[in-house]
Amino acid sequence: MKNKKIFLAEQDIPKQWYNLVADLPEAPAPPLGPDGKPVTPDMLASVFPMNLIEQEMSTQRWIDIPEEVLEILYRWRPAPLRRAVYLEEYLKTPARIYYKDESTSPPGSHKPNTAVPQAWYNKKFGIEKLTTETGAGQWGSALSFACDIVGLECKVYMVRISFDQKPLRKIMMRLWGGNCVASPSEETSFGREILRKMPDTPGSLGIAISEAIEDAVSDKTGKTRYALGSVLNHVMLHQTIIGLEAKKQLKLAGEKQPDIIIGCAGGGSNFAGLSFPFVCDKINGADITIIPTEPTACPTLTRGPFKYDCGDMACKTPLLAMFTLGHSFVPPPIHAGGLRYHGMAPLVSHAVKEGLLEPRAYDQVKCYESALLWAKTEGAICAPETSHAIACAIEEAEKAKEEGKEKVILFNYSGHGLMDLSGYESFLDGKLTRYSLSEEELKKSLESIKDLPEVGT
């Protein structure tokens, strides 16, 4: 009998996070402040607690996971590694397809892997309230969950159009004590300004980030901070528990090493979480193909330039060295909301630049076709973001069949799609567009960053 689920005992959970920065051949370019110089810890102190700022800037290879953080993660971790035997049989591939199942967390995705430590470090630093933004609500619900357990207040600015159209994750946030408001809101001066100018705006992540940061930094008691669910180094760090667990589990399954590693990449965190511990092996000579996958509608890594750009649309964040489509880029309304980000985590971007990763883009129709095949073979219903990893896994399994090679494929099953069933409905109705960014649109959106500095100059 083939072993389909590989569990790790609780005592075998990784006790440290892995920091890729320690092993990169070249140091990544630092974030720049408004003065064009690298940001210092003090400049971030009103936004993040100092213990997380230290992690953000750390070059230490291994960072201990606090025992109390592990105790919270045990609610769903170690997460299962599973083998997609039914898909393999359907494809008649000699490849062995493994996936790390991050859909088993209470909010249903990998997001709480960083929400929990972020809430815990803030609490330890004496913070009483966290603010954040959310689009479809994945991150907002993960942070609400983490704050509820740790004992922090949580305020979530949710992009208005999602707030109105996606009631389910809003209920999840509320259930875990999160205070979720539609953005733009009347609660910040930036929100009020936008509402005065554009009373009917559907909102945007850019606006919501600006409101969440304003809420945090304007609290005169100093007890409020802001939390971000992707992009930053400390977020990638917290997610490496995924790859570290997967490594142990692959050994239990009798595999020496994966040949191909795949993760979908929006801001980059679930991809980094699975892949970074293996990127380390690749730096040390292992022969592994590591593929971040993204939508053709938002092809940051496959078509954007590597440049300094702002993390948000309003340009309130430091400049980050990353692949970007320009901070003014408004992606088409694809269902994979978590992959609609204009930029990419600086660490993921840097690894692409160094030739360690081989990004690919897929259109959403191909992704939903893959998701449907997944549901009809493996049974589970994946998130639209995750379908971008499955599309690539299927492509690679078919290639292995053509080549007659017994390859080991590992991908990250970043979340379930039970809150995103309407996307499946549109697909089954034949209503989905194969969006692909045109040269003209790309050129236009890059206009907004033409005066921003190049990396390394």
Positions that interact with a second copy (CB under 8 A):
1, 3-5, 7, 10-11, 74-76, 86, 104-106, 108, 145, 148-149, 167-168, 171-172, 174-177, 372, 375-376, 378-381, 418-419, 421-422, 424-425, 428
For a second copy, the closer of residues 302 and 386 by Cβ is 386
Report the b/e string of 127-136 with b at 16+ CB within 10 A.
Answer: bebbbbbbbb
Shortest spacing between CB 7 and a second copy, in angstroms? 5
For a second copy, the closer of residues 111 and 360 by Cβ is 111
Q: Is 126 left (phi over 0), alpha (psi -120 to 50) or beta?
A: left
Shortest spacing between CB 146 and a second copy, in angstroms? 10
For a second copy, the closer of residues 148 and 153 by Cβ is 148
* 3-state secondary structure at position 1: coil
Where is 400: in which H helix or E strand? helix 387-403
Interatomic CA distance for residues 334 and 391, integer angstroms? 16
For a second copy, the closer of residues 50 and 171 by Cβ is 171
Shortest spacing between CB 71 and a second copy, in angstroms? 9
Shortest spacing between CB 62 and a second copy, in angstroms? 21
- Paired residues of 130 in beta bridges: 154, 225
For a second copy, the closer of residues 11 and 221 by Cβ is 11
Going by the DSSP 8-state scheme, the letter that residue 40 receives in this structure is: P
Report the b/e string of 62-78 with b at 16+ CB within 10 A.
Answer: ebebeeebbebbeebbb
Shortest spacing between CB 419 and a second copy, in angstroms? 7
Shortest spacing between CB 108 and a second copy, in angstroms? 7
Interatomic CA distance for residues 409 and 258, integer angstroms? 6
CB 264 within 8 A of CB 412: yes
Shortest spacing between CB 375 and a second copy, in angstroms? 6
* 3-state secondary structure at position 111: coil
CB 128 within 8 A of CB 436: no
Shortest spacing between CB 202 and a second copy, in angstroms? 22
For a second copy, the closer of residues 57 and 381 by Cβ is 381
Shortest spacing between CB 262 and a second copy, in angstroms? 21
Q: Are strands 224-226 and 5-6 parallel, antiparallel or unpaired?
A: unpaired
- Paired residues of 154 in beta bridges: 130
For a second copy, the closer of residues 93 and 141 by Cβ is 141
Shortest spacing between CB 104 and a second copy, in angstroms? 8
Interatomic CA distance for residues 379 and 393, integer angstroms? 16
For a second copy, the closer of residues 33 and 106 by Cβ is 106
Strand order in the sheet with 81-83: 5-6, 81-83, 96-101, 408-413, 260-264, 289-295, 360-362
Rg (CA), the chain: 21
For a second copy, the closer of residues 250 and 348 by Cβ is 250
For a second copy, the closer of residues 106 and 332 by Cβ is 106
Interatomic CA distance for residues 123 and 128, integer angstroms? 7
CB 230 within 8 A of CB 269: yes
